Homo-oligomer: A and B are copies of this chain.
């Protein structure tokens, strides 16, 4: 059994983390912090947890948090980087769901997030928490930067093509559709049901913060720089990301075999049969990334369809997967759940 603390559990990744950790047989939830809601029973805010979580939100306290075996940060960016250095110093392991430690280049981070990074010296220490790439480093990591939602769906979809050097790396296209929960539990007009229901729109076409994260990951896999056009869309649903990926093939090869081999041993990547169309609802609430590969009209354009639940494999499920690897638990413990259909 390990003791676990969560900083900032009033958002959607927070409550999803609670849902998963509550059923984890090796975890004792010790601390759930929220500056704004300190004192309130967690289950008052999230009635789905009535009878499952007895804790109240508390003020974040470094001493208490440092006494945990691992601390999750389910916070907006810039919160983790203020507290993580002290926890790292005291030897506490940290799993950060925010973007604070995802980019290796502090300059790039500062450019995309419009503020100085307060602990750039930790960027090298941080392991990018995408187990399908970094499983070995995750085992011994002290600080995990959990991969983002779009980046998870996009990287898992492109990896086999780039690792095997069969597409033009400079003209990658990711047309990604996300449910509204990706915008978080923040009161914002654009996320109102009245604004985002019965509606479809692209956003951030000029530049989205997940672009450098994806390019960094794909460049790492390819060995050289890659270039991506990334167009995210807001879709009228709560959960789910559907990434439709396009690449120009530079070699003939058995694409289906490529993917099946690459992911043969991955517990949370499901390569579907030829001709399939994965649905986001088939992974809703589950930690699976489901992928299908197409080469329409036998042209030289490959189309990869990659779906995840943005709050599970795209955030909290992946965070628990990282934790399982870090502590030597069965990697699927507490996250091997089945999507509820319909």
Contact = CB atoms under 8 A, between A and B. Distances in A.
Interface of A: 12, 15-16, 19, 22-23, 46-52, 171, 173, 175, 177, 179-181, 183, 185-189, 191-203, 205-207, 211, 227, 229-231, 233, 235-240, 242, 244, 246, 248, 270, 272, 275, 277-286, 290, 294, 296-297, 299, 301, 303, 305, 307, 338-342
Contacts of A275: 206
A340 B238 CA distance: 11
Given A48-B339, A235-B235, A294 B205 contact: yes
Contacts of A50: 270, 272, 282, 290
Given A183-B194, A192-B193, 17 more contacts: A22-B338, A23-B338, A47-B282, A48-B282, A48-B340, A50-B272, A177-B177, A179-B200, A181-B342, A185-B192, A198-B239, A199-B281, A205-B305, A206-B294, A229-B297, A285-B285, A285-B340
Q: How many subunits of this chain does the assembly comprise?
A: 4
Nearest to A240: B200
Label chain A's interface by main secondary structure. mixed
Contacts of A283: 48
Contacts of A47: 272, 278-279, 282, 290
Contacts of A199: 237, 240, 279-281
14 contacts: A19-B340, A50-B270, A50-B282, A52-B338, A173-B173, A177-B233, A177-B235, A198-B281, A199-B281, A206-B294, A229-B246, A229-B301, A230-B296, A233-B244
A283 B193 CA distance: 18
Nearest to A267: B51
A52 B338 CA distance: 8
A162 to B, nearest CB: 18
A122 B238 CA distance: 45
